Structure 1
Amino acid sequence: MTMDLRGRTALVTGGTRGLGLAIARKLCASGCDVYVNYARSEADAARAVAELAGLPGVATLLRGDARRPEALLAGLDRLDVYVHNISSFHPAPDGLPTLPDLRADLAMAVEPLLGAVLPLRDLMAGGLGRVIAVSSVGARRVVPAYANLGVAKAALESLVRYLAVELAGQGIAVNAVSTSKLDKGGDGAAERMLASRTPAGRLSTPADVADVVALLCADEAAWIHGQVITADGGLGLRA
Structure 2
Amino acid sequence: MQLKDKVILVTGAASGIGRQTCLTLAAAGARIFTSDLNGAGAAETAARIEAEGGRAASFAHDVTDADAWQRVIAEIERQAGRLDGLVNSAGLMIVRPFKDTDFALYRQQQAVNVDSVWLGCQAAQALMAKTAALGKGASIVNLSSILGQKGGSMHSAYCTSKGAVRLMSKALAVELGRSQIRVNSVHPGLVETPLGIGSMQDLISHGVPLPSIEAAVGMVAQRTPLGRMAQPLDVANVIAFLCADESAYVTGTELTVDGGYSIN
TM-score (norm 2): 0.82
Q: 1:135 aligns with which of 124, 127, 144?
A: 144
Per-residue displacement from partner, 1:154-179 (whole Å, max 9, x unpaired)? 01111111111010110100001111
Aligned partner of 1:236 in structure 2 is 262
Instruction: Kindly provide the amino acid, as one letter, of the partner of residue 173 in structure 1.
Output: R
Instruction: Kindly provide the amino acid, as one letter, of the partner of residue 101 in structure 1.
Output: L
Indicate whether 1:213 and 2:217 are aligned: no
Aligned partner of 2:106 in structure 1 is 102
Aligned-residue offset at 1:83: 0.6
SS at match of 2:75: coil
Aligned partner of 2:57 in structure 1 is 60
Q: 1:26 aligns with which of 21, 24, 38?
A: 24
Aligned-residue offset at 1:184: 3.9
Partner Cα distance (1:41, 1:192) in 2: 34
Aligned partner of 2:229 in structure 1 is 203
Q: 1:51 aligns with which of 48, 51, 76?
A: 48
Provide closer, same or farther for how the CA distance between residues 40 and 218 of structure 1 changes in structure 2, counting only shifts above 3 A. Answer: closer
Q: 2:167 aligns with which of 154, 158, 166?
A: 158
1:107-126 to 2 correspondence within 5 Å?
A: 107-124=111-128, 125=130, 126=133
Provide closer, same or farther for how the CA distance between residues 50 and 178 of structure 1 changes in structure 2, counting only shifts above 3 A. Answer: same
Partner Cα distance (1:234, 1:178) in 2: 12
Aligned-residue offset at 1:196: 1.2
Instruction: Kindly provide the amino acid, as one letter, of the partner of residue 237 in structure 2.
Output: D
Partner Cα distance (2:102, 2:251) in 1: 33
Aligned-residue offset at 1:56: 5.1
Q: Identity of paired residues, percent?
A: 29
SS at match of 2:163: helix
Per-residue displacement from partner, 1:168-212 (whole Å, max 9, x unpaired)? 110100001111111249761111011011111211111000000
Aligned partner of 2:72 in structure 1 is 72
Aligned-residue offset at 1:97: 5.2
Higher helix residue share: 2
Aligned-residue offset at 1:150: 0.8
Aligned partner of 1:225 in structure 2 is 251
Aligned-residue offset at 1:93: 2.0
Partner Cα distance (2:99, 2:252) in 1: 29
Instruction: Kindly provide the amino acid, as one letter, of the partner of residue 107 in structure 1.
Output: A
Provide closer, same or farther for how the CA distance between residues 221 and 46 of structure 1 changes in structure 2, counting only shifts above 3 A. Answer: closer
SS at match of 2:71: helix
Partner Cα distance (2:46, 2:36) in 1: 11
Partner Cα distance (1:198, 1:210) in 2: 19
Aligned partner of 2:8 in structure 1 is 10
Instruction: Kindly provide the amino acid, as one letter, of the partner of residue 253 in structure 2.
Output: Q
Cα RMSD, aligned residues only = 1.9
Unaligned 5+ residue runs, structure 1? none
Partner Cα distance (2:32, 2:111) in 1: 25
Bigger Cα displacement from structure 2, 204-213 vs 141-150: 141-150
Partner Cα distance (1:71, 1:111) in 2: 17
Provide closer, same or farther for how the CA distance between residues 183 and 116 of structure 1 changes in structure 2, counting only shifts above 3 A. Answer: closer
8 Å Cα contact 1:102-1:152 kept in structure 2: no
Partner Cα distance (1:181, 1:142) in 2: 14
Partner Cα distance (2:51, 2:61) in 1: 25
**Count, aligned residues:** 235
Aligned-residue offset at 1:49: 2.7
Aligned-residue offset at 1:90: 2.5
